[in-house]
Amino acid sequence: MPTSGFLDPRDPAARQLLIALFIGVFMSALDTAVIAPAIPALRAAFTLDNRQISLITVIFILGSMPSTVLMANLGDRHGRRPVYLACSAVFALGSLMIAASGSFWMVLAGRAVQGIGAGGLMPTASAIIGDTFAPEQRGRVLGLVGATYGMAFVIGPPLATLLMLAASWHWIFLINLPIAAVVLTLGARALPARAPDAAPAPLDLGGMATLFAFLVALVLGITRAADAFAGVALWPWLLAGAALLLGVLVAIEGRVRQPVVPLELFGNRQLATTYLLTAGTGVGMGAIAFLSLIATLAHGVAPKMAGFALLPMVICSMLGSMAAGRGLNRYGARRLIVAGFALLAVGYGGSAATTLGLWGFLVFSVPVGLGIGVVVGGALRSIAIDEAPAPVRGAAQGLINLCSSVGTLLSASCIGAVADFQGGGSAGFGIAYAMVAAAMLLMMVVALGLRRSAVGRDTGADPTLELRTGA
């Protein structure tokens, strides 16, 4: 899109567009924030054990990870607006299915549908921002998107608690319906209707099927969720199968004209580094889940109050995301990403020192929040927007989500395994978080390999890539 075709964020049309994007992203993030308070109520309502209740998260991931790549590819092929609106509607349908559930299997079906819808919202929103706003404006807008996630995590848990006290757990999911209605109404008017210029190639069905099989094997292998279906340890075989399927996927995608996963993106060193750093960001985000356990096990915080111990971190995450978005053009993506991982290393390193007391825990939760806000605040997505050619901009954003999800799964599984191996107490979590801090330091070193350049360029295509997107 030529520079003259970009919108000014101050224009009324641009503001309506941003409101539609922000509300959709907020809806998806809010669901992630409220599911934890809902789990005890769901467990009691359907008489579930720990293995069964864990499927609520696993099924959502299994729905969202393949959807992320598929929806991003469809947006590149057929335009962003229909994909974004469809994802919002599908997410609302999944929420309605859960609220109307009479059995746990209906809940799982609804969570899978929710995951399919949620998987396409963030990458499509990011691609729309890349298409619509000038390079010098993208960082700030993406930073506001990241802050929307932080806002959802501030509002979500108290809202879920109030809804369950005033009514029932069903309303935690029913609240998504009016939000989705607003997104659909605003989006139909404000989202750009521009479709790709070239006629799309035939849909890469073989690549999609192989990608789905690969992700199923990977997710079940990482989370060891196969043990919920069988009494034997199948996860090593699942991971081996995932490795084999990855090879098959690479072979398939190397032959088709318009692949669902453009392999040429990984031939760009900036993009390849960005995807590795995004996986590292997922590791940092996944580690947040166990911080409340440190508060309870090491510092005596009551389980019902543990969420409040994370409020400083959540607020700092929102502030860090907004600040990173504003500073992206001034300081460049490389400096911000290095600083973000440095903050995470300090924060998680301090969290590992469980002898510092509650105040020490709260103090070190501040750099964790700031670091998360910085690394998810738009810098990595800006690199993907700038480096990826416009015809595959959505696919490049989808891979950001995919790599982040893989990192989150790895983090959660490894922290839980290390803590359990050490007896499940605060000492085990201290060792696990020391390992997370070391991983953040490694990511900081990797980030130094990014190009020393300001963000905000828009080449439209990278000369190092030869994409098979022509008609």
- Of 14 and 120, which is predicted with more confidence? 120
Q: pLDDT tens across 31-46, in order?
A: 877 776 677 678 778 8
For the segment 49-72, the average pLDDT, to the nearest whole number, is 79
pLDDT band at 205 (very low <50, low <70, confident <90, very high): confident
Q: pLDDT tens across 343-389, in order?
A: 999 999 998 887 788 888 889 989 998 998 888 767 888 888 888 88
Q: pLDDT tens across 402-440, in order?
A: 888 888 878 877 777 777 676 666 777 888 889 999 999
Q: pLDDT tens across 173-182, in order?
A: 998 999 999 9
Separation of alpha carbons 226 and 54, rounded Å: 11
Separation of alpha carbons 342 and 206, rounded Å: 41
Residue 339 has pLDDT above 70, yes or no: yes
Identify any residues that bridge with 7 across adjacent strands, giving them in sequence order: 133
- Specify the pLDDT at position 463: 38
Residue 29 has pLDDT above 80, yes or no: yes
Residue 50 has pLDDT above 70, yes or no: no
- Specify the pLDDT at position 461: 42
Average pLDDT value for the chain: 80
3-state secondary structure the chain: CCHHHCECCCCHHHHHHHHHHHHHHHHHHHHHHHHHHHHHHHHHHHCCCHHHHHHHHHHHHHHHHHHHHHHHHHHHHHCHHHHHHHHHHHHHHHHHHHHCCCCHHHHHHHHHHHHHHHHHHHHHHHHHHHHHECHHHHHHHHHHHHHHHHHHHHHHHHHHHHHHHHCCCHHHHHCHHHHHHHHHHHHHHHCCCCCCCCCCCCCCHHHHHHHHHHHHHHHHHHHCHHHHCCCCCCHHHHHHHHHHHHHHHHHHHCCCCCCCCCHHHHHCHHHHHHHHHHHHHHHHHHHHHHHHHHHHHHHCCCHHHHHHHCHHHHHHHHHHHHHHHHHHHHHCHHHHHHHHHHHHHHHHHHHHCHHHHHHHHHHHHHHHHHHHHHHCCCHHHHHHHHHCCHHHHHHHHHHHHHHHHHHHHHHHHHHHHHHHHCCCCHHHHHHHHHHHHHHHHHHHHHHCCCCCCCCCCCCCCCCCCCCCCCC
- Of 357 and 325, which is predicted with more confidence? 357
Q: pLDDT tens across 73-93, in order?
A: 888 877 888 999 999 999 999
- Specify the pLDDT at position 348: 93
Q: How far is CA 339 from the centre of its chain?
A: 20
- Specify the pLDDT at position 441: 96
Q: pLDDT tens across 218-234, in order?
A: 877 776 644 444 445 67
pLDDT band at 317 (very low <50, low <70, confident <90, very high): confident
Backbone angles phi, psi at 133, to 5 degrees: -110, 150
Q: What is the pTM of this model?
A: 0.77
- Specify the pLDDT at position 1: 41
Residue 67 has pLDDT above 80, yes or no: yes
- Of 102 and 302, which is predicted with more confidence? 102
Separation of alpha carbons 310 and 230, rounded Å: 36
Identify any residues that bridge with 133 across adjacent strands, giving them in sequence order: 7
